[in-house]
Amino acid sequence: MRIHSVFARKPVAAITLCVTTALTLVLAQGPLTAAAHATDTGIAPNAVGALDCNGYSLIQRLVKPNGVCTDPRSIYDGEGARFLDNGHYIGHDEPSLRFLSSVPGSGNNVTWNETLPGDPAASPTVATPGSDVTHWFELSIAPWFGMALCDPYSYPQTACKPESDANAPGAGSSSFIGGGSSFLEVQFYPPGFAPFVDNISCDNTHWCASLHINDAECTLNFHFCNPNCVEPTNFAFIQMDGVPTGPPSPQLSNLATNTPNAETLLMNPGDKLQVHIFDADLAGGGRALEVHISDLTTGRSGFMQASVANGFMATLLGNCHGAPFNYEPEYNTAEPQNLVPWAALQGGILTEYEIGHFTPCTSITSPATFSIPGFSDPVWLSCHGPYETSADGGSNPEIADGFCFPVGDTHGGTAPPNEVTGCTDLFNGDVDFDGSSYRADWPNSVTPTTFPSTFQQSQPSSNGHSYSGVQFETDAAASETTCGPSTLAGCAVPAPIAPGSFYPYWTQALVNGHCVWEFGQMTNGNTFGGAAQYDGPSAYFFGTLSSDVLSNPNCS
């Protein structure tokens, strides 16, 4: 089956999607009868899982409807194009800071040190965008660290050798298409909007984190993508005992997978963390990617290995079945060419903020119900208030605001009360750019004010070596109605259509004697021109804005 036509280059505004059709993919449609079973062609998927984190699988409902996916790009007639999943645009916004190095090991062994931010003591307000009391979950639902992983079952469906620069497209030959690639995101989830399974947070007072891997079940140049499992996801919380809360694989993921338990590593705002991402030796032999987080403030730590023993599986392109798999880093070094060839961001060693996924509201309408085995929750689909500037549909590329929840909602007693009325923009992100992420509600201080404090991330290191280069990137432009392969003048941040005329940016500053990277609207160091740091459309993909590779100034 060829579905090449779904990748047509069309402006976002021209893409239409029936909300009712989309909802049939995430709302309960009756009892589930399918069960996983092993065959000689892999492990068959359950009727609910994570075969397509965008929610458009034709054979499986999504267990967590607001999963944070990797934003793909596409190619059509040899040119860059927006990616459509079963005919639906699923792009979103991921401003990132990529770190480059030619030092051996820099692409597969990285250590980050960071201080988690804090929220204002006052509850969020919804009155005046740009000066409202704002909490982190409204700005970014998942700051994360990235790395490219070796996966022969993912785009472009070719063999790869772990920790080898020979996997890079063009390595050794200009005609070499590169090794199969998956995208690691070590995601952090802010407090304030639980429960996690259909919201953002683990609880109202702690940060938690996960090992999250996206594959792309497409062939070279996206000539064929399996419509049943376009972007499968392996997911597991970082656990103090290293044991997943439930099956991590796309085929078997369930409510337990997405529900923290007593062993889930919970971290406090203000805690100082060390995050180590590396290829680990396994107790039974072999190797697999490990994420280890040490909370230097509390003394607690947690880890997760993307291993067969823990239930991780690659996905088979032909039938979407699972193949038990040890994921490992793809590259040796963090050279610019060592990327994830199907992702809108070039990938590699990077830090990123997943934005454009929350809109605060004064009221919500259009009730519905989200239901999976073991959990059912009333949801709403439409937001009203000062942040929601236009009705969805028509010329507005957003199809709905949901899932939305009222302030104080405890979701049937399964979570602490939500701190504000708001929507998670799960269907395709905030592509009309009117929510919290695109207002000047971002951190402007290293301590909370009206706005939360900023993350403070020290320079990453690999085996004691620093990264010599940096590159600013964002894929926001792919979601802009003003942007296209032939209309590059409209590819910019802030988005030309954004009513708040604001876009967050990176700052490098000396804080308490340490050189740190910050994100928001900080002005205490080198701002690299503010939003201008993202420069213009990239030769890699027209929808990605990126700077040249710059020398890492390290506060000099």
Q: What is the pLDDT of residues 410-431, one digit of tens each?
A: 999 999 999 999 999 988 789 9
pLDDT at 281: 97
Determine the Cα–Cα distance for residues 40 and 43; give it in Å rounded to an integer.
Answer: 8
Closest alpha carbon to 56 in 37, 72, 35, 75: 72
Determine the Cα–Cα distance for residues 28 and 489; give it in Å rounded to an integer.
Answer: 43
Helices (H) and strands (E) in the chain, counts: 2, 35
The pLDDT tens digits for 179-221 are 999 999 999 999 999 999 999 999 999 999 999 999 999 999 9
pLDDT at 92: 92
393 pLDDT band (50/70/90 cuts)? low
pLDDT at 394: 60
Determine the Cα–Cα distance for residues 29 and 535; give it in Å rounded to an integer.
Answer: 46
Please, what is the average pLDDT of the chain?
Answer: 91
Q: Look-up: residue for tokens 């692409």?
A: 107
Task: Write the CA distances from 228 to 60, 195, 208, 427, 439, integer angstroms.
Answer: 8, 27, 30, 18, 37
Mean pLDDT of 377-396: 85
Q: Do 543 and 91 touch, CB atoms closer than 8 A?
A: yes
Determine the Cα–Cα distance for residues 189 and 209; give it in Å rounded to an integer.
Answer: 6
Mean pLDDT lowest among 39-53, 79-93, 332-346, 389-403: 389-403
The pLDDT tens digits for 95-130 are 999 999 999 999 999 999 999 999 999 999 999 999
Fill in the amino acid letter for 49: G
Determine the Cα–Cα distance for residues 397 and 408; give it in Å rounded to an integer.
Answer: 30
The pLDDT tens digits for 251-304 are 999 999 999 999 999 999 999 999 999 999 999 899 999 999 999 999 999 999
The token duo for 9 is 């280059």
Task: Write the CA distances from 115 to 121, 156, 510, integer angstroms.
Answer: 18, 37, 14
40 pLDDT band (50/70/90 cuts)? low
pLDDT at 545: 98
pLDDT at 169: 93
173 pLDDT band (50/70/90 cuts)? confident
Q: What percent of the chain has pLDDT above 90? A: 85
pLDDT at 495: 95
26 pLDDT band (50/70/90 cuts)? very low
pLDDT at 23: 37
Closest alpha carbon to 156 in 176, 177, 183, 174: 177
> Between residues 502 and 427, which one has the greater pLDDT?
502
pLDDT at 100: 98
Q: Cis peptide leading into 403, omega within 30 of 0? A: yes
The token duo for 113 is 């040190």
Determine the Cα–Cα distance for residues 164 and 332; give it in Å rounded to an integer.
Answer: 5
Residue 404 pLDDT > 60, yes or no? yes
Q: What percent of the chain has pLDDT above 70? A: 92
305 pLDDT band (50/70/90 cuts)? very high
Residue 231 pLDDT > 90, yes or no? yes
Residue 140 pLDDT > 90, yes or no? yes
DSSP 285: S
pLDDT at 76: 87
Q: Which long-range contacts (CB under 8 A, 24 or more apart) does 279-286 make?
A: 279/108, 279/109, 279/162, 279/163, 279/328, 279/329, 280/305, 282/307, 282/309, 282/326, 283/309, 284/309, 286/326
The pLDDT tens digits for 53-100 are 999 999 999 999 988 899 999 998 888 899 999 999 999 999 999 999
Mean pLDDT of 21-27: 35
